Amino acid sequence: MAEHYQNYVDGTWTETLTGETVETVNPASPSETVGQYQQSSAEDANEAVEAASAASDEWASTPAPERGAILRQTAANLDDRKQELTELLTREEGKTHAEAGGEVQRAIDIFYYYAEKTRDMGGTVKSASAERTNLYTKNVPVGVAALITPWNYPIAIPAWKIAPALAAGNTLVLNPASIAPGVAVAIFEALDDAGLPDGVANIVTGPGSEVGDAIISHDDVDAVSFTGSGQVGHMVYDAATADGKRVQTELGGKNPTVVSASADVEKAAAIVAAGAFGVTGQACTACSRAIVHESVYDEFVEAVTERAASIEIGPGDQYEMGPQVSESELDGTLEYIDVGKNEGATLTTGGGQPDGDRFDDGYFVEPTVFTDVGRDFRIAQEEIFGPVLAVTEVNDFDEAVAVANDVEYGLSASIVTQDHTEAERFLTESEAGVVKVNAKTTGLELHVPFGGFKQSSSETWREQGDAGLDFYTIEKTIYDNF
C-alpha cells in the first residue's frame, strides 16, 4: 500500500482543505504507486504563508547558533534515515541507488554545513571617522521566503534553499514538484523531530500553477527562490519583481564539453559520457554537447559511442542508468531524437526505447549519440533533458569556444585538454556560471556559489556557500555614537 503524506503547516501535519490527493508512481514500473500526497489549493498555500509570517519575528530573534543546533539535528535525523530515503528517491524519481544515495548525502551535508555557518553570522566592524562611535554592519533576515523546487534533485535542491534560509533567520513555505515530493516531505519530518518552532518552515504539495502561484503572489512573502524550466521561471521572476520581492531563479542549460586536440581521448570520452548520461541526462548541468577538434574527432566519436552503448539500463536499484521520470519526459526526449534524425545528424547509438521484459512498462530510453551536428541544429541549441549527446566537429580552439558560447544558455561548461593556455583561455572566455577543466559538467561543491549566465539564471543571486546566505539576508549599517 502506498504511503500517505500530509502537508506540514504551522507545526502540524494536516490534510488539504480540498480533500483531494494525487499519487506518484515508480517510473521504472508505472503500475506501482509509491505515495499519495495532498492536492492542495491556493487556500492551503495562503494558510502556510500566514503561519510563516506569524512565526517570522520570533525566529529572526532566535540566536543564530540556536538555529544552527536545529539544522545540525535535522542533518543527523536525515542521516539516520539515509537508506530509507535513498530507496524512496529511487522508486519515486528513478535515479540509480548510487545516484540517489549521493543526493541524500548531499542534503545531509548541506544541513551540517549551514549549521556551522550560523556561528559566523555577524557583520563587519569598520573604523568610524568620529570619536566615540562604533561603526559596524549587521545581517538581518529578509523575512518570509517562497521556495519552488523541481523533481530532478528532489532532496538536494530543497535542502540548499531551506538550510540557508533558516540559518539566516527566515521563515518559509516550500512547494515541491508533484512528481517526486516524498524526500522533500522527509526534510520537514526531520526538522519537526529536531524541534523547529511551529510555523517556521511549511510544506504544501500540489500543482505549482495554483499552490506555487499563491505563495509567490502573497503579500507577506518577501523573497522567492525558484528552480525549474525557463518558461515558468521567467513568469515567476516577472510576477515576483512586479511586487517588489527579492528573487533568484535557476533555469535550464545546454552545457558543452570541449575536447581539444591535446586531449586524452579515452579520458575525454569518459568525462563526456558521465556528464551526458548520468542521472539519465535529467540534470540542468548535464553535458548536452561535445565540441571536438577535427584531429581527434573520429577517435572520440568511436570511444564515446562505445561507452554509451555499453551502459546497462534498467530499474535504478540494479542498473547503471534508470528511467526518465515520467511518460511526458520520455516523449519529449523521443521527439528530440526524431528532430535530430530529421535535421540530418548521424545517429551512432541509441535513438529509441530498449527491448526486453524489464523495459515493458517503464519510461526507459537508450543513451543516444548524434554526430555531424551543426551548431544551429535544434538538438545543439535546445535543452532536451534526457540522455542525448550532440557531437560537433570544429577546426580549432577559437571555433570551439565560439560554438560553446553560441546558445541562449550559460550554466555549466568544461574543457578536456592538456594545453594550459587553452584551459586558461576557456576559463576566461566561456559564457557559463560554472566552468571546469578536465571534469564533467555535472557535480557541484556545496560551499561555492552556483548559478548561470544568460537564460540559465536571473543573474541576480547565486545559491550555495556564502552566496546562499547572501540571498536570504539584508545588510544593515549601524552608527552607535556613545
Write out the three cell numbers for 453: 549566465
Q: Is the pLDDT of residue 1 over 90?
A: no
C-alpha angle 374/375/378, rounded to 5°?
85
Q: Is the pLDDT of residue 10 over 80?
A: yes
Structural domains counted in the chain: 2
Cβ atoms within 10 Å, residue 229? 15
Model pLDDT, residue 262: 97
Q: Is the pLDDT of residue 287 over 90?
A: yes
Angle in degrees, 0-180, between the axes of helices 97-117 and 64-80, rounded to the nearest 10: 160
Of all residues in the chain, what percent carry a pLDDT higher than 70? 100
Q: What is the CATH number of the domain that holds 192?
A: 3.40.605.10
Question: 45 with 14: CB under 8 angstroms?
Answer: no
For residues 246 and 259, membership in a common domain is answered with no
Largest CA distance in the chain: 81
For residues 296 and 308, membership in a common domain is answered with yes
Model pLDDT, residue 324: 98
Model pLDDT, residue 357: 86
One-letter amino acid for residue 195 of the chain: G
Q: Any idea which residues carry the catalytic annotation?
A: 284
Question: Considering the domain boundaries, does residue 446 fall inside one?
Answer: no
For residues 238 and 371, membership in a common domain is answered with no
Write out the three cell numbers for 241: 519583481
Q: Is the pLDDT of residue 283 over 80?
A: yes
Question: 442 with 265: CB under 8 angstroms?
Answer: no
pLDDT confidence of 17, banded at 50, 70, 90?
confident
Range of the domain at 339: 255-437
For residues 29 and 178, membership in a common domain is answered with yes
pTM: 0.96
Question: Considering the domain boundaries, does residue 120 fall inside one?
Answer: yes
Over residues 210-264, the pLDDT tens digits come to 999 999 999 999 999 999 999 999 999 999 999 999 999 999 999 999 999 999 9
Over residues 133-187, the pLDDT tens digits come to 999 999 999 999 999 999 999 999 999 999 999 999 999 999 999 999 999 999 9
Question: 345 with 310: CB under 8 angstroms?
Answer: no
One-letter amino acid for residue 127 of the chain: S
Model pLDDT, residue 351: 95
Over residues 424-467, the pLDDT tens digits come to 999 999 999 999 999 999 999 999 999 999 999 999 999 999 99
Q: What is the CATH number of the domain that holds 305?
A: 3.40.309.10
Write out the three cell numbers for 345: 545528424
Question: Considering the domain boundaries, does residue 451 fall inside one?
Answer: no
By C-alpha distance, which of 400, 413, 393 is closest to 288? 413
For residues 461 and 324, membership in a common domain is answered with no
